[in-house]
Amino acid sequence: MTSSATLDLSLELLRQPSVTPIDHNCQNIMANRLAQVGFNIEHMRFEDVDNLWARRGTQDPVFCFAGHTDVVPTGDLQAWQSAPFQPEIRDGTLYGRGAADMKTALAAMVIATERFVKKHPDHKGSIAYLITSDEEGPSINGTVKVIETLEARQEKITWCLVGEPSSTQQLGDIIKNGRRGSLNGVLTVKGKQGHVAYPHLARNPIHLAAAAIYELSETVWDKGNEYFPATTFQISNIHAGTGATNVVPGTVEVTFNFRYSTELSADQLKQRVTELLDRHGLEYDIVWTLSGLPFLTPVGELVNAAKNAIHQVTGVTAELSTSGGTSDGRFIAPTGAQVLELGVLNASIHQINEHVNVADLEPLAEIYEEILVQLLA
């Protein structure tokens, strides 16, 4: 296997056991290299989370690489074919926790930046990095706090490329130019506990809630639009009962999630749910948690630069998509930045034996460099 600059840096990052929210030494590794090519380095630690803001240049426009050094836990170590933090290459495939999500993309960003700066030392605008160790965790003290700091000093990002693994079948086939919003609800329907043999003396909250739950699951909330699929409602947990077979429970708790498009707001969804529950005559409490607003970057400078770069490097014509979960792009887009996600294949993320094709690493760095060329050269 021929070594490459992107592979070498990937291996160095993958050897860091940076399980969220621990960065270990990843951000220092990146910062040291960026400092050598003229970046001003700021380490921003909030509570137990390390964040890096690095910037080269003082002028607009600002192109920002964004991503995370933290990874999800390894799971059963015995199930891994090789130690998750001792990366191995087998048959052209690089294995290790974070190989796909998203340390190889971080390496490609740094290598692309080093090469671009060497060729274009007097580039237009600024290049920046926003790196956190809190993306796989609660996402409270990471990107959102850095953005708050930048906003407070009126430091704006023009274009942001998040290195999340976006590709599906081959490198560059999918660009995520937006994400659906995520709204969680915990619904508690109240009844009256009693003996199952005396149902007239009890009120079974499961029975009371059943029709409303069915209607929620069958409701068409919207039809989506040009960029977004239709809003979905999914129940993830239902809890009721004492564990005994002869007790009617007093309450039932239903945990659910909306992944919603830009056709609806969180407030509209809340209103429609409460109207439905009220119509069914239920006594209930509901606690809402908004995990992220939907965001969309329409076709423009950033999307076109990415599509052109992908086609130039790989010959692939990229498609735009807003599918999948949330990312830290949801904290950056509300500032007015154009945001997209572009990285390696996502088939193995969060899995045992997470992996990436070694042959995709240098082309990814080339794509990132070409995007810089198109926007800042």
Residue type, 63: F
Find, among 331, 345, 26, the residue nearest to 165 by Cα.
345
Catalytic residue IDs: 70, 135
Asked if 228 contacts 261 with a C-beta cutoff of 8 angstroms, the reply is yes
The whole-angstrom separation of Cα 16 and Cα 262 is 38
Q: CA distances (Å), 248 to each of 187, 213, 243, 285, in order?
A: 18, 19, 10, 19
Q: How would you classify residue 241: left for phi > 0, otherwise alpha for psi between -120 and 50, otherwise beta? A: left
The whole-angstrom separation of Cα 149 and Cα 139 is 15
Provide the pairing of β-strand 159-162 with 338-341: parallel
Asked if 189 contacts 209 with a C-beta cutoff of 8 angstroms, the reply is yes
DSSP E strand stretches across 76-231:
88-90, 93-95, 126-132, 159-162, 174-176, 178-179, 181-190, 194-195
The whole-angstrom separation of Cα 228 and Cα 289 is 22
Find, among 280, 289, 282, the residue nearest to 252 by Cα.
282
